[in-house]
Amino acid sequence: MFKFYDRENELELLSKIRQNSSKNAQMPFMLGRRRIGKTTLLTKAYKKTTTLYFFVAKK
């Protein structure tokens, strides 16, 4: 099990984006270096909603 802490600001921002997307189409992008919890953050933020997740590898 992974530890998940100190991400309240990010979770709040993603929640606001989700709420605003009902009025205006929005698509957040998550960028960052490897192994810092990007996928875990998105999974926690959107676990109760239907979402579409794309992974784009550099090749």
- pLDDT, position 53: 82
- Please state the length of the chain: 59
- pLDDT, position 1: 61
Domain that holds residue 5: 1-59
Residue ranges in the chain whose pLDDT is less than 70 = 1-2
- pLDDT, position 2: 65
The count of domains in the chain is 1
pTM, two decimal places: 0.77
Which amino acid, 8? E
